[in-house]
Copies of this chain bind each other. A is one copy, B any other.
Amino acid sequence: MSLGEMTEEELRSRVRALLEEAHPDRVDAFTFRGKQYDNGLAWVHFPEGYGGLGLNPKMQAVVQDELRRNAETQHDDMMLNPIGIGMGAPTVLTHGNEWMKRTLLRRIFTGEDIWCQLFSEPGAGSDVAGLSMRGVRDGDDWVLNGQKVWTSLAHVSKWGMLLARTDPDRPKHEGLSYFLLDMESPGVEVRPLHQITGEAEFNEVFLNDVRIPADRMLGAEGDGWRVAITTLMNERTAIGGAVGRRGGGSIGILLELWNARTPGSLSPAAEAVLRDRITQLYIRSELLRFTSQRAKAAQKTGNPGPEGSVGKLALAELNQRIWECGMDVLGTDSLVYEAGYRRRRPAGESRTGRLALAKYQFLRSRANSIEGGTSEVMRNILGERVLGLPGEPRPDKGVPWKDVPRSA
């Protein structure tokens, strides 16, 4: 029989076989996930030999279920290599060469190699395709120079998915190529990028005459944007997508803060005003949940409407309002920032406890309307793709990249 027709029961027995070989309760995650990969149970929809069995993606749920049934420990933490597993693997499978698929997919799944994404640049924010990092061919290598920014995990990554400009004479989308960068290469410098909270979730990455072997290019020269689309399509943007539980998330904390307020600290009138605001925020939070539920229901019935597209914009706005309101509820207590602003990698204590979390989120949420597409860009997308309104005049359209005005 061909694996394509493998039944659920056959798959379950294959999982039990894996558990005979290596059991999560007895071996570490690295060892177990290696075996899981070798048995084609990492991504069952991937081809045989690449961590899969060529099955329908839905079948992966069967694997996870069987693992949950037969083991206490679950070595399924996607977060151990989110970008590698979420975006790297599908990109390598679709556009990578044989060497990449053979060598890298397994190490991605085991978490041996952490991956990061090197697209954004200081001069290319909303306009990513306008990026400036230069890649020049030199013998069997490409030599790269320039700076990337907003790179999560760069400081612990082995591989970076990098987009660079290899032909400035073509219009911006057409002059890009896509590389796999060994983050340990000479000339790669990673610096923490501190944000409003003092913490550094992200990095700046500087490339100074970094050499990348030509066979580390994904897709053809000048075909980088198409490859980048694959990566971005797989960006696991939970933003606005997840359906939380009632009173969960930000609004839940706000309600806790409200109910924990010091009696008498507010006048009855001030309480009434704040209560009306909080109720509005509660309603919006619920409606955001319902709207994602509608989106999911519509996907099932196969005719998804606009309800799926509004989440990111609405969530960013709502989250900021909620935390602003939280600070108003805290009143003078909001003058104090107990956790302090220490310049370092994200640490727990700024988010432990309702109070610390509220203050941290008040600051952190300012990024919600910027990261993963600014609210201005989201409104363009809603206006143009969903409502069918015409785009703006585009002075950079069809113009050689080198001739398009850009920030220094």
Contacts and interface: CB of A to CB of B under 8 A. Distances in A.
Contacts of A276: 269, 273
A82 B160 CA distance: 71
A395 interface: yes
Contacts of A395: 393
Interface in A2-21: none
Contacts of A139: none
A72 interface: no
The interface centre, meaning the residue of A268, A269, A393, A395 with most chain B CB atoms within 10 A of its CB, is: A269
A77 interface: no
Contacts of A269: 272, 275-276
A206 B74 CA distance: 79
A269 B272 CA distance: 5
A98 interface: no
A392 interface: yes
A63 to B, nearest CB: 53
Interface in A361-397: 392-393, 395
Contacts of A270: 272
A104 B270 CA distance: 63
Summarize A's interface: helix, strand, loop or mixed: helix
A276 B275 CA distance: 13
A270 B275 CA distance: 11
Contacts of A392: 392-393
A319 B205 CA distance: 52
A392 B268 CA distance: 49
A276 B328 CA distance: 15
Nearest to A267: B272
A406 to B, nearest CB: 15
Interface in A268-301: 268-270, 272-273, 275-276
Interface in A235-291: 268-270, 272-273, 275-276
Contacts of A268: 268, 272
A268 B275 CA distance: 13
A276 B270 CA distance: 9
A293 to B, nearest CB: 30
Contacts of A393: 392-393, 395
Contacts of A275: 269
A273 to B, nearest CB: 5
Contacts of A273: 272-273, 276
Nearest to A394: B393
A29 B84 CA distance: 87
The interface centre, meaning the residue of A268, A273, A392, A395 with most chain B CB atoms within 10 A of its CB, is: A273
A30 B276 CA distance: 60
A393 to B, nearest CB: 4
Nearest to A270: B272
A17 to B, nearest CB: 64
Nearest to A393: B393
Nearest to A395: B393
A336 B324 CA distance: 38
A277 to B, nearest CB: 9
A342 B275 CA distance: 43
A279 to B, nearest CB: 10
A395 B393 CA distance: 8
11 contacts: A268-B268, A268-B272, A269-B276, A270-B272, A272-B272, A272-B273, A273-B273, A273-B276, A392-B392, A392-B393, A393-B393
Given A268-B268, A272-B273, A392-B392, 11 more contacts: A268-B272, A269-B272, A269-B275, A269-B276, A270-B272, A272-B272, A273-B273, A273-B276, A392-B393, A393-B393, A393-B395
When A and B form their complex, which 10 residue pairs have the shortest distance between CB atoms, in order from nearest? Answer: A272-B272, A393-B393, A269-B272, A273-B276, A393-B395, A273-B273, A272-B273, A269-B275, A268-B272, A268-B268
